[in-house]
Amino acid sequence: MKEKLKLLKRELSKQVIGHSDMLDALLIGLFTDGHILLEGLPGLAKTTAVNALAQAINLNFKRVQFTPDLLPSDIIGAEIYDVKSGDFKIKHGPIFTNLLLADEINRAPAKVQSALLEVMQERQVTIGDKSFTIERPFLVLATQNPIEQEGCICTSSSST
């Protein structure tokens, strides 16, 4: 087991250079059935690290950009009425994955954060009158920019 862990860390380090503490935290969260909050400025390889982890261990990965206008149904899914059949059908949201990157979680409204926290704790989602168990492993990796920043700030420079 120890050798496999070393191989996994080596593989992740190929794509994410210089962030061994972050990679260790991701692995601890995965192996302890926990969740991780990654804080830091934009552009510090948080998304790359989560994507690399998903690829390295062949897990499903989805990313949700959290914004002030996001709704709980945007992450958990909803019942959709099918006019042809006259029935309601369930449309699963991005929460139905193994690794979910909740990008800039501090920008989301309270109801969205509450829906996400419920899934993180109970490992199930209720849509309409049906409950769905979330497959394991299930790990939410949330990013949060420093409080002074309102979303991603992009700059460019040119040489003259």
CATH code: domain 2-144 is 3.40.50.300
Compute the average pLDDT of residues 18-31. Answer: 84
Comparing 20 with 84, the larger pLDDT belongs to 84
CA angle 23/25/59 to nearest 5° reads 70
What is this structure's pTM? 0.80
Using DSSP's 3-state secondary structure scheme, residue 10 falls into: helix
Q: How many residues does the chain have?
A: 160
Please give the single-letter amino acid code of residue 76. I
Check whether 42 has a pLDDT greater than 50. Answer: yes
Using alpha carbons only, how large is the chain's radius of gyration in Å?
18
Given this model, what pLDDT does residue 147 score? Answer: 60
Q: Residue 19's pLDDT band (boundaries 50, 70, 90)?
A: confident
Q: Residue 159's pLDDT band (boundaries 50, 70, 90)?
A: very low
Using DSSP's 3-state secondary structure scheme, residue 106 falls into: helix
Check whether 113 has a pLDDT greater than 70. Answer: yes
pLDDT mean across residues, the chain? 85
Calculate the alpha carbon distances from 153 to 72, 119, 134 in Å. 26, 30, 34
Burial 115-147 (b: 16+ CB within 10 A, else e): bbeebbeeeebebeeeebebeeebbbbbbbbee
Burial 61-71 (b: 16+ CB within 10 A, else e): bbbbebeeebe
